[in-house]
């Protein structure tokens, strides 16, 4: 039990219990709850990621402990000043010297925590925006503004709900933490392994089965964890070796895992942290966002599944037959392993039911966490004793800092953008640079999303892109939901887009493949997914906006389009296709996603023609192969 008395464990357990208390018993005022959330996240970061741990200098070796104390002290200050802070009139009531001190301290601590956990990119960006807040008068043209006073900056950053304690950290506090914690509980009870076992069972006799199992397992876990990199790390260690053993190259195995894990953030019913932010930003129920995301997400995973199937066909991989399967005893053991953990699906079903019943997301997650512990006692092998519960509380809190810190730092950037009116000016710049051409504007927005997302978690990438770029799309006449969903997709794609593709690089390290090659190959395989995003922004029925006939037609044409493009990229349909046919398939794919019936019909004709030609070839070849009876007779 000694490990539970260590500083990291104590902070993590207290933070998790505090969050559970807020969800299930008595929530505090938003400002106080968010400030304590930030304080716990900072304290845990400095206790966990210690830079002076191995230093010979006594001061440096203990400096991290000082940062932990200061971090927790900021939370204590807000807690004991709660009555005054909640009742004061923001931007009107005077601030005390201690208020100024605490705000400056929190900003400095956040920047250092960001440097340690996220890296330099977002930290430098936050520093730039703080400089921009004061130096606005010195910037040229549309980028210029009057500049913010120190009082207004302090108010915006920490004593209002516009900056650090704004929407991003609110989403981390109210939603994301609980789903991360639920994921940790489910994983430690054996639920994570259950997803992998079910996926392997479902695909064992399919061509390229292990890779298809990776898609199902990573998609299932990814929709709960909401983190592409964490998902790669947790499921990739099982799925990538299986794919390599089946005959796929390390580069392909790593790419498939990266794509499948990244897709978890856009896969209902839970999706990733950014989806909760989207619902909050648009002011609509989360269930509406999840339902809108359903068709594009299903198309994304079908595309990935088809890609694996085509690749398996191209390299001559055969489906396992019933006779070539393992012996009856092994099959029985596989079934027993699944049945031994199948009850762990009940908490997930409870979570989904509560969400769609209209319960708050934090309360739904709270009762689902309780359900994991209770239901784990159905079988001895999954039982969660006190040590496993404590381990889950610690694991959940550790994972949560990967969302909480970026959200808090993003709050600095969002606060400056809001109070300097930069968001509105950025829309004008996008339209100006695209010369008013709609498709060019959308392309610029997609590129901007990827650039903003380089080296950053999806949540942070979405926050900045939503503030800076979403108004541009809405100004061009696109649906608000379609605009934000488009930005969410490209914020996710930043995890698999070079030169900084975190999910691809994590998968490459497990597969022992070249990092850069894997990054570019994963991007190459993901091109059909880019097509999906462009499709729904121009074709809202894919997001369930429209009548049933429009939704069905859009879904079918888009699905055929991504299959055609996947075939063109892999160079295989029913047989290998030459470069001429690959170009034709690419043209068919683009035509199929264009929201015009006549153009889509042209694409359909091209695709069906190629398919019929290949099917006829397959039929002719099968006629020329003598059956087993003929061979026996001739011998």
Q: Is residue 104 part of a domain?
A: yes
258 and 114 in a common domain: no
**327: pLDDT strictly greater than 60:** no
Cα-flanking dihedrals φ and ψ of residue 270, to 5°? -105, -45
52 and 180 in a common domain: no
**157: pLDDT strictly greater than 90:** yes
Is 170 within 8 Å of 116 (Cβ atoms)? Answer: no
| Cα angle 400, 404, 409; round to 5 | 155
In angstroms, the Cα distances linking 192 to 145, 187, 339 are 51, 5, 14
Nearest alpha-carbon partner for 418 in 456, 370, 458, 464: 464
pLDDT given at position 21: 94
Q: Is residue 524 part of a domain?
A: yes
pLDDT given at position 224: 67
What share of the chain in percent tops pLDDT 70? 94
pLDDT per position as a tens digit, 593-622: 988 889 999 999 999 999 998 888 777 766
| Cα angle 445, 446, 451; round to 5 | 95
> pLDDT higher for 277 or 38?
38
124 and 80 in a common domain: yes
> pLDDT higher for 368 or 321?
368
**321: pLDDT strictly greater than 60:** no
Domain boundary among 134, 165, 196: 165
Tokens encoding 84:
């005054």
Domain boundary among 118, 144, 165: 165
pLDDT per position as a tens digit, 441-475: 898 888 888 877 776 777 778 888 888 888 888 88
Residue 261 CA, chain-centre distance (Å), reads 8
**572: pLDDT strictly greater than 80:** yes
pLDDT given at position 626: 52
Q: Is residue 470 part of a domain?
A: yes
Nearest alpha-carbon partner for 254 in 459, 500, 516: 516
pLDDT given at position 87: 92
283 and 155 in a common domain: no
Contacts of 377 (CB under 8 A, 6+ apart): 383, 384
pLDDT per position as a tens digit, 225-270: 666 777 787 778 888 888 888 889 999 999 999 999 888 888 887 7
Tokens encoding 159:
């004593």
pLDDT given at position 631: 36
608 and 537 in a common domain: yes
CB atoms within 10 A of CB 206: 17
Please list the residues that pair with 572 across neighbouring strands: 576
Kindly indicate the confidence band of residue 331, based on its pLDDT and cuts at 50, 70 and 90. low
Contacts of 394 (CB under 8 A, 6+ apart): 4, 8, 9, 12, 13, 16
Please tell me the least confidently modeled range out of 268-277, 405-414, 550-559: 268-277
Q: Is residue 392 part of a domain?
A: no
pLDDT given at position 635: 38
CB atoms within 10 A of CB 120: 10
173 and 135 in a common domain: no
138 and 281 in a common domain: no
pLDDT given at position 630: 41
Domain boundary among 136, 165, 194: 165
> pLDDT higher for 235 or 319?
235
Nearest alpha-carbon partner for 463 in 506, 405, 519, 503: 405
CA–CA separation, 469 and 73 (whole Å): 37
Q: Is residue 496 part of a domain?
A: yes
pLDDT given at position 52: 74
Q: Is residue 76 part of a domain?
A: yes
272 and 221 in a common domain: yes
pLDDT given at position 628: 45
Kindly indicate the confidence band of residue 324, based on its pLDDT and cuts at 50, 70 and 90. very low
CA–CA separation, 195 and 267 (whole Å): 15
482 and 494 in a common domain: yes
Residue 322 CA, chain-centre distance (Å), reads 37
In angstroms, the Cα distances linking 264 to 88, 169, 258, 299, 481 are 42, 21, 10, 13, 19
pLDDT given at position 133: 93
152 and 184 in a common domain: no
Give 384's DSSP letter.
-
Domain that holds residue 447: 421-622
Q: Is residue 632 part of a domain?
A: no
498 and 349 in a common domain: no
22 and 105 in a common domain: yes
Average predicted confidence (pLDDT) for the chain: 86
Over 443-480, what HEC string results? HHHHHHHHHHHCCCCHHHHHHHHHHHCHHHHHHCCCCH
Contacts of 17 (CB under 8 A, 6+ apart): 393
User: Total structural domains in the chain?
Assistant: 3
CA torsion, ordered 417, 423, 424, 427, to nearest 10 deg: 160
CA–CA separation, 399 and 414 (whole Å): 23
Is 288 within 8 Å of 356 (Cβ atoms)? Answer: no
Residue 84 CA, chain-centre distance (Å), reads 38
Q: Is residue 371 part of a domain?
A: yes
CA–CA separation, 106 and 172 (whole Å): 17
Nearest alpha-carbon partner for 503 in 455, 450, 447: 455
CB atoms within 10 A of CB 127: 14
Burial of 582 (0-12, 13-18, 19+ CB in 10 A): buried
Burial of 546 (0-12, 13-18, 19+ CB in 10 A): middle
């Amino acid at each position: 039990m000694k490990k539970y008395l260590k500083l990291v464990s104590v902070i993590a357990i207290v933070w998790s219990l505090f969050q559970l208390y807020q969800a299930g018993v008595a929530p505090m005022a938003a400002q106080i709850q968010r400030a304590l959330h930030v304080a716990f996240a900072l304290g845990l970061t400095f206790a966990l990621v210690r830079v002076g741990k191995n230093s010979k200098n006594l001061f440096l070796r203990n400096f991290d402990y000082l940062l932990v104390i200061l971090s927790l002290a900021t939370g204590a200050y807000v807690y004991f000043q709660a009555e005054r802070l909640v009742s004061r009139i923001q931007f009107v009531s005077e601030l005390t010297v201690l208020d100024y001190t605490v705000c400056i301290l929190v900003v400095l601590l956040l920047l250092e925590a960001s440097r340690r956990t996220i890296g330099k990119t977002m930290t430098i960006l936050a520093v730039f925006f703080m400089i921009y807040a004061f130096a606005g008068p010195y910037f040229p043209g549309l980028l210029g503004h009057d500049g913010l006073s120190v009082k207004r900056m302090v108010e915006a950053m920490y004593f209002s709900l516009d900056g650090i304690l704004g929407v991003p950290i609110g989403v981390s506090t109210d939603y994301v933490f609980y789903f991360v914690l639920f994921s940790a509980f489910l994983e430690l009870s054996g639920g994570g392994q259950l997803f992998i076992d079910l996926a392997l069972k479902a695909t064992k006799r399919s061509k390229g089965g292990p890779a298809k199992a990776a898609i199902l397992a990573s998609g299932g876990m990814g929709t709960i964890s909401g983190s592409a990199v964490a998902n790669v790390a947790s499921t990739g260690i099982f799925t990538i070796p299986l794919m390599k053993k089946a005959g796929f190259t390390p580069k392909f195995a790593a790419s498939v895992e990266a794509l499948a894990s990244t897709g978890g953030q856009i896969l209902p019913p839970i999706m990733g942290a950014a989806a909760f932010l989207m619902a909050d930003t648009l002011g609509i129920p989360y269930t509406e966002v999840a339902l809108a995301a359903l068709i594009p997400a299903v198309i994304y995973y079908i595309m990935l599944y088809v890609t694996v199937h085509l690749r398996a066909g191209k390299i001559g991989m055969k489906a396992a037959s019933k006779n070539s399967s393992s012996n009856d005893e092994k099959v029985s053991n596989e079934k027993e392993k699944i049945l031994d953990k199948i009850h762990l699906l009940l908490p997930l079903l409870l979570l989904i039911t509560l969400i769609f019943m209209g319960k708050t997301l934090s309360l739904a997650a709270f009762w689902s966490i309780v359900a994991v512990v209770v239901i784990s006692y159905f079988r001895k092998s999954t039982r969660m004793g006190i040590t496993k519960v404590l381990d889950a509380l610690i694991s959940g809190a550790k994972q949560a800092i990967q969302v909480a810190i970026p959200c808090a730092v993003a709050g600095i950037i969002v606060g400056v953008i809001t109070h300097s009116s930069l968001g509105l000016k950025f829309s004008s710049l996008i339209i100006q640079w695209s010369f008013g051409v709609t498709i060019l504007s959308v392309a610029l927005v997609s590129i901007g999303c990827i650039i903003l997302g380089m080296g950053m978690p999806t949540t942070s990438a979405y926050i900045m892109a939503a503030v800076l770029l979403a108004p541009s799309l809405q100004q061009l006449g696109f649906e608000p939901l379609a605009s934000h969903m488009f930005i969410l997709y490209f914020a996710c794609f930043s995890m698999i887009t070079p030169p900084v593709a975190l999910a691809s690089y994590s998968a490459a390290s497990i597969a022992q493949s070249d990092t850069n090659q894997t990054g570019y190959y994963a991007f190459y395989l993901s091109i059909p997914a880019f097509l999906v995003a462009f499709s729904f922004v121009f074709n809202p029925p894919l997001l369930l906006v429209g009548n049933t006939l429009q939704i069905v037609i859009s879904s079918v044409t888009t699905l055929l389009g991504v299959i055609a493009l996947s075939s063109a990229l892999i160079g295989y349909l029913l047989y290998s296709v030459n470069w001429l046919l690959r170009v034709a398939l690419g043209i068919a794919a683009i035509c199929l996603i264009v929201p015009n019936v006549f153009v889509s019909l042209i694409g359909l004709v091209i695709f069906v023609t190629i398919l019929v030609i290949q099917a006829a070839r397959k039929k002719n070849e099968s006629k020329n192969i003598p059956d087993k009876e003929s061979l026996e007779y001739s011998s």
